[in-house]
Structure 1
Amino acid sequence: MIRLLFLIWVFFVSSQGQQYYDSSTCSSATHPGSRYSCDYPQEYCWAFLLYRANRDYPTISNITKLFGADLYAVLTLNKIVSPTENLQPGREILVQIQCSCAGQFLQKNVTYPVSGSTEFSEIACGVFEGLVKSVTLVDDNYPFHGKFAKAGSELVVPLTCACPGNFSLSNGKVLSLVTYPIMEGDSMNKVAQKFGIPVSDIWAANHLDYRSTVYTNSTILVPLTKEPSLTFTLPNSPPPSPGFLPTVPVETATDSEKLKNLYIAGSVVGLSLVLVALIACGLYLKALKRWKGRKLQSFNTRSSRFSYLSTLSSPRSGHTGRSSRTSCLSPDLLVGIKYSLNQYGIEELRKATKNFSEDTRIDRSVYKALINTVEVMIKGSNVKETHRVIDVHSKINHINVLTLLGVCYDETSDDSRSYLIFEYLSNGSLRDCLSRLGNPLHWHRRTQIAFDVATGLHYLHHCIFPSYVHMNVNSRSIFITSNWRAKLGNIGPTTAIGSSKGNDHDTSISFNGWIAPEHMLNGLVSEKVDVFAFGVVLLELISGREDIDGKQFKDSIQFLAGGGNEGGCFEQLRGFMDPCLKEDYSLAEALCLAVLAKACVEDDPLHRPSMDDVMKVLARMV
């Protein structure tokens, strides 16, 4: 009885109905493959799939066998009498399934017998019409390799589905969710009309809004607050055009004249608005220049350069613009971005970390905490370093860089203590992920992480001004999200490219492991220092090991220098691979990553590739 009550409670409470829309197509290699996450193994619910009758599955009898569904329920749901009636191709059918949690994801498992040698993509995108992605089909049928499923084999097909949990809309609680595969010509409005629901409900269920775009061969969730039904004849919908050629409606002369007048009026109004904007921009820049002149008389150059920092610590302080460029898009117009950080009180942090107890510590001066239901990382620092971190983060905004959420200045301490508050990523650092023996990091996730790190470094090196080097890239400063994407952490003690220990930047950074020779010997700073560190990270991703002084890796990759036979090279590579991977990797990709890593850790920085070159190599693997 207690177990039954627990299952009922899990069914109604545990599931979070809102799931994010995945824009990748059925044949895409993106992981985890349009799957919706679950929190508890006991989670399950009734859900629906939308399937379209076709040449191979023209009847309800065929369709229900394909999905392992109840024949009578599907007939009743779709108001069809005969299970053997040949349906018109494209006729949409709702199929009721039991959706349950398998591992991390909600899905409905069905079996599919492979009659002949068939590509996985044909089964996923053809037979099952995109209700499962081909990469998911391959992953769940390991150890199949390559593009083809073997004739005579029986595949497990994890169909995409989701549970609503406590998700509610303005017109009531969501009772079930329909997995709807988008086909050519579909739009959010059309889908909403088919199910007789507001289009805003579909936006809410998929974390979208009216500006979002949905793509053919992807899936969305349709939330239902009552028994599902489909409307096949949409109001005011034009008849389908013959064949596949696009048609253009013929306008009457009156309509064309009205449109012409409307375009002319719109052009005049638009031109007027542009002129007004230019005049206003010029007046603003003139006033800004006059204001800067007055402020610069009372502040020296150094205080002007960092004056925004005093604003962070004292809200009544003023600030001075740092750009003299006469552009309407000058950084002076965006100076407010620097002040968008949350200000936290020291008592708030002490309460969230149990007075910075050992239970909440995740590194030397880094703590995990829950503030306003949001998991965060709190990093202890000093005021000088804090100012530098804020200065760098005010210039960057990238998906592969850890987000700085806020700052706290401890006015009660005598040593000017301060704290930086970052987003917390549930999978911890890359080193944590590589060290978990019971749950090894899959190969496809490792290649994606390598690409994400390279993308973040490329952004720092080439996409911001001034360009920065990270100077502390290692597996402990790379953090992994819940969906196994990587973000660069410890952004802040970075250095402008071209500087060295002799300038006003503090480059006394705490490195871990193998360091670029030119920096260790001469203190030289360039983007090639980051490239070297990235090569070490690649070697850790391949081997799973952490090399403290570089000797182990240096000896292990000697076989990549050539001189041996091809078979011996492959055998040594297999010996270097992380044993946790077993056979779950492509030998060709592993060799490619190893050769790339070897190039990155060359002693001569001129022989190392740029991050642009690195990205071009990795882009072919993800």
Structure 2
Amino acid sequence: MILFWFFILVCLDSSQAQQYYDGIECASSLSYPGSRYTCNMFQNSCRTYVVYRANQQFQTIADISSLFHMDYDAMLRLNNLTSHSVVLRSGREVLIPINCSCSGQYFEASFSYLVSKIMSYSEIACGVFEGLLKSSTLAEENLAQAINMGDELRVPLKCACPDNSTSVKGVEYLVTYPFIEGDGPILLSKRFGISPEDLSFVNNLEPPNPTVFPNTTILVPLRKPPVLNFNIPDSPPPTPGFLPTVSVVKPNNSTRLRVLYIAGSVVGFSLLLLALMACVVMYRRAYKRWKIEKFHSFNARSSPLSISPVRSPLKSGLTGRSSSPMSTCLSPDILAGLKYSLFNYSIEEIRRATRDFNEENKTSARVYRGVINNAEVMIKQMTSVETSHVIDVHSKINHINILNLEGVSYGESDLSWSYLVFELPSNGCLRDCLSHTSNSLQWSQRTQIAFDIATGLHYLHCCTFPSYAHLNINSRNIFVTGNWRVKLANIGTLSALGSSENKGWVAPEYLLYGSASEKVDIFAFGVVLLELISAREDIDGKLFKESIKFLGGGSSEGGFLEQLRSFMDQQLKEYPLAEALCLAVLAKACVEDDPLHRPSIDDIIKVLARMVEPEVNRHVW
């Protein structure tokens, strides 16, 4: 019996001959095989290395040695340097010797980090430690508690020890290497002098040229200690986006003539493009005037109430002046000739991604969560007519605050289901973020989210031609990325407000008269604002209507502020009271019954732009 279990363990451990490559970005809250490297039964500890890169915060060997609690003299010898105070070029690779050991079921190199300023787990794991561990691992190891100045966090860096029972014989070191833009397995193999096959095997990748992603790590198998022949060359850093460059040759006479021809062509094309842009803008203005006149005449005919054009309370109370619609946006239809390409998935790939449409993968009616190419995606089941309409809408829009449509799986006939594959931001929908009491959104994150929603709506309302109303804005159709930025979803769905997926308080003019306009989106945005500041969800509006009555006046000054504080999310410990009041007033203006009393999207952006912190705006997507 003992011999039997020994063979069982050996067979089970054969999967440990390789470590899985995790292609999910460092900031993701999700865990996959490879998020941490699994221990094997042949070697529980080893001496190995990780690669770190000099940056603006840690510029010298002394800085880096202090971060990793190392003796800088040993670091100097290891990295062929002579002074611990010399400022290293940003991106210069530095070898860090570590002790890697098995803790529980995972290998790790245990370090500590003293928090000197308020930071998130993502900023520490992916910024300070450059993705040498995932933010979810750091949060898990520190019980996901709020980070305060002076806290000492436990930092388990990713590492692994070799198992020489594998087919990669003679491997003594597995070096943890973090990918950046421009890296790739072939380039990495050349820099370390190893075969691409060994690199692929150890990381369970598909040879010969597997796909890898920035902000992820890979294990480099070495038969001897690494040397610095893989450092960044002493040449200028690559241009942004790592665009290919060509050497500049002094032009001769014929080259100069060719340059003049090219310059003349560029100038001529630019003038033609400007003329076309002017025509588009003029046509767009005329179309919008016609549509507004048609909307007002429709309301005058169909509404049993007389609607007078009263000035919006938001304009008089918050901005101090009326706003004019923006007219500088260029319609994306000018690029309609460019091909819109999508990945074409087979139904078998969709089944594998959703585990054969498992109920556990189902998030709502006809919507599944899946995994394709190690990345989480959202898969929506649709009819052929719906599929064509959504693809047509997404082919005409492209914005950072709108969820990307990545692929499609067509049904075998018009009567069978088709499937659309969308990106799935790591923090899920806004409703879920507001419901997590253990990790409540900070005030700055909430104002940034509000601003991003407004920016996405402004693009749909003012920068598409003809202008487009979303008609299904709610906290379940708003997704949040790992950097707490927003992407609007469910765009292009037929009869959005009438669908079963729509949950929430809807603009009264749509329910009464079927009037679908941008003002329906403004109303829905106001509801989302109320959810952002209170974290509550209201299905029919009764809760919010009662809760914001104090904004209509009639309360004493002290009672007014107390009612505002009681309406706010109690998880919010610190927030500017003036900004909270401003958001509440803005939300109340958005949910006015009369659509003519609601602010425009321009007014909303002007108000929110004053609240968004500049450092939050600079976050990388």
Q: What TM bracket, shorter-length normalisation?
A: 0.5 to 0.7
Deviations 1:296-348 (A, max 9, x none): xxxxxxxxxxxxxxxxxxxxxxxxxxxxxxx9x965632x42xx345556677
Give me the TM-score of the superposition, normalised by structure 2: 0.57
Give me the TM-score of the superposition, normalised by structure 1: 0.57
Measure the CA separation in 2 of the matches of 1:435 and 1:473. 18
CA gap of 1:370–1:86, structure 2 versus 1, over 3 A, is closer
Tell me, what secondary structure is at the counterpart of 2:432? helix
Tell me, what secondary structure is at the counterpart of 2:487? strand
Measure the CA separation in 1 of the matches of 2:55 and 2:267. 57
Q: How does 1:84-103 map to 2 (within 5 A)?
A: 87-90=84-87, 95-97=96-98
CA contact (8 A) 1:130 1:181 kept: no
CA gap of 1:351–1:382, structure 2 versus 1, over 3 A, is same
Which of 545, 550, 568 aligns to 2:541? It is: 550
Shift in Å at residue 13 of structure 1?
5.1
Shift in Å at residue 409 of structure 1?
3.1
Alignment-derived partner of residue 601 in structure 1 = 591
Alignment-derived partner of residue 476 in structure 1 = 476
Alignment-derived partner of residue 74 in structure 1 = 75
Aligned-partner residue type, residue 489 of structure 2: G
Shift in Å at residue 556 of structure 1?
1.2
Measure the CA separation in 2 of the matches of 1:562 and 1:231. 72
Shift in Å at residue 275 of structure 1?
7.8
Aligned-partner residue type, residue 456 of structure 2: G
Alignment-derived partner of residue 453 in structure 2 = 453
Measure the CA separation in 1 of the matches of 2:235 and 2:477. 55
Shift in Å at residue 90 of structure 1?
2.4
User: What percent of counterpart residues are identical?
Assistant: 41
Alignment-derived partner of residue 302 in structure 1 = none
Matched, 1:409 2:403: no
Deviations 1:39-74 (A, max 9, x none): 6567799654658799x99996x9755642356753
Measure the CA separation in 2 of the matches of 1:224 and 1:51. 16
Aligned-partner residue type, residue 614 of structure 1: I
Shift in Å at residue 378 of structure 1?
3.8
CA gap of 1:407–1:32, structure 2 versus 1, over 3 A, is closer
Measure the CA separation in 1 of the matches of 2:556 and 2:268. 72
Alignment-derived partner of residue 435 in structure 1 = 435
Measure the CA separation in 2 of the matches of 1:393 and 1:461. 15
Which of 110, 121, 131 aligns to 2:112? It is: 110
Aligned-partner residue type, residue 535 of structure 1: G
CA contact (8 A) 2:404 2:422 kept: yes
Matched, 1:518 2:523: no
Measure the CA separation in 2 of the matches of 1:236 and 1:352. 44
Deviations 1:339-370 (A, max 9, x none): x3455566775676677564543222333455
CA gap of 1:361–1:607, structure 2 versus 1, over 3 A, is same
Shift in Å at residue 175 of structure 1?
3.7
Alignment-derived partner of residue 269 in structure 1 = 258
CA contact (8 A) 1:401 1:456 kept: yes
Aligned-partner residue type, residue 395 of structure 2: S
Shift in Å at residue 471 of structure 1?
0.3
Shift in Å at residue 442 of structure 1?
5.2
Tell me, what secondary structure is at the counterpart of 2:368? strand
Alignment-derived partner of residue 397 in structure 1 = 398
Measure the CA separation in 2 of the matches of 1:111 and 1:373. 30
Bigger CA drift: 88-97 or 570-579? 88-97
Alignment-derived partner of residue 317 in structure 2 = none
Alignment-derived partner of residue 420 in structure 1 = 419
CA gap of 1:233–1:480, structure 2 versus 1, over 3 A, is closer
CA contact (8 A) 1:539 1:553 kept: yes
Measure the CA separation in 2 of the matches of 1:519 and 1:261. 65
Alignment-derived partner of residue 156 in structure 1 = 152
CA contact (8 A) 1:47 1:162 kept: no
Structure 1: give runs of 5+ residues left out of the alignment.
22-30, 167-171, 209-218, 239-257, 281-326, 495-504
Tell me, what secondary structure is at the counterpart of 1:401? coil
Aligned-partner residue type, residue 493 of structure 2: P
Alignment-derived partner of residue 385 in structure 2 = 384
Q: How does 1:35-46 map to 2 (within 5 A)?
A: 40=35
Alignment-derived partner of residue 300 in structure 1 = none
Deviations 1:551-592 (A, max 9, x none): 10121123334554555444333322334x252656555444
Deviations 1:118-153 (A, max 9, x none): 8779xxx9xxx96689xx9xx9998688xxx6xxxx
Aligned-partner residue type, residue 475 of structure 2: S
Bigger CA drift: 342-351 or 389-398? 342-351
CA gap of 1:15–1:108, structure 2 versus 1, over 3 A, is farther
Matched, 1:578 2:582: no
Tell me, what secondary structure is at the counterpart of 1:333? coil
Deviations 1:448-502 (A, max 9, x none): 43333333222211222121000011122223445554322221137xxxxxxxx
Alignment-derived partner of residue 16 in structure 1 = 21
CA gap of 1:277–1:517, structure 2 versus 1, over 3 A, is same
Structure 2: give runs of 5+ residues left out of the alignment.
40-45, 163-169, 197-209, 237-247, 270-330, 617-621
CA contact (8 A) 1:513 1:548 kept: yes
Tell me, what secondary structure is at the counterpart of 1:362? strand
Tell me, what secondary structure is at the counterpart of 1:391? helix
Alignment-derived partner of residue 301 in structure 1 = none
CA gap of 1:265–1:482, structure 2 versus 1, over 3 A, is same
Measure the CA separation in 1 of the matches of 2:493 and 2:422. 18
Shift in Å at residue 16 of structure 1?
3.2
Alignment-derived partner of residue 314 in structure 2 = none
Alignment-derived partner of residue 534 in structure 1 = 525
Measure the CA separation in 2 of the matches of 1:86 and 1:350. 57
CA contact (8 A) 2:451 2:612 kept: no
Measure the CA separation in 2 of the matches of 1:37 and 1:586. 39
CA gap of 1:231–1:572, structure 2 versus 1, over 3 A, is farther
CA gap of 1:430–1:620, structure 2 versus 1, over 3 A, is closer
Alignment-derived partner of residue 604 in structure 2 = 614
Deviations 1:145-203 (A, max 9, x none): 8xxx6xxxx3436889766999xxxxx99943467999xxxx99xxx99x9679xx9xx
CA gap of 1:555–1:87, structure 2 versus 1, over 3 A, is same
Tell me, what secondary structure is at the counterpart of 2:540? coil
CA contact (8 A) 2:380 2:419 kept: yes
CA contact (8 A) 1:472 1:509 kept: no
CA contact (8 A) 2:383 2:416 kept: yes
CA contact (8 A) 1:18 1:164 kept: no
Aligned residues: 481
Aligned-partner residue type, residue 410 of structure 2: C
Shift in Å at residue 406 of structure 1?
1.0
Shift in Å at residue 527 of structure 1?
1.6
Tell me, what secondary structure is at the counterpart of 1:547? coil
**RMSD of the TM alignment (CA)?**
6.1
Deviations 1:501-559 (A, max 9, x none): xxxx9975554221123323332222221121112112222222210111101211233
Measure the CA separation in 2 of the matches of 1:79 and 1:6. 43
CA gap of 1:374–1:467, structure 2 versus 1, over 3 A, is same
CA gap of 1:70–1:388, structure 2 versus 1, over 3 A, is same
Aligned-partner residue type, residue 524 of structure 1: S
Alignment-derived partner of residue 333 in structure 1 = 337
CA contact (8 A) 1:179 1:221 kept: yes
Measure the CA separation in 2 of the matches of 1:457 and 1:407. 28
Deviations 1:410-460 (A, max 9, x none): 53x8xx344231225255433334334555555554444333333322221
CA contact (8 A) 1:132 1:157 kept: no
CA contact (8 A) 2:176 2:220 kept: yes
CA gap of 1:472–1:463, structure 2 versus 1, over 3 A, is same
Aligned-partner residue type, residue 380 of structure 2: K
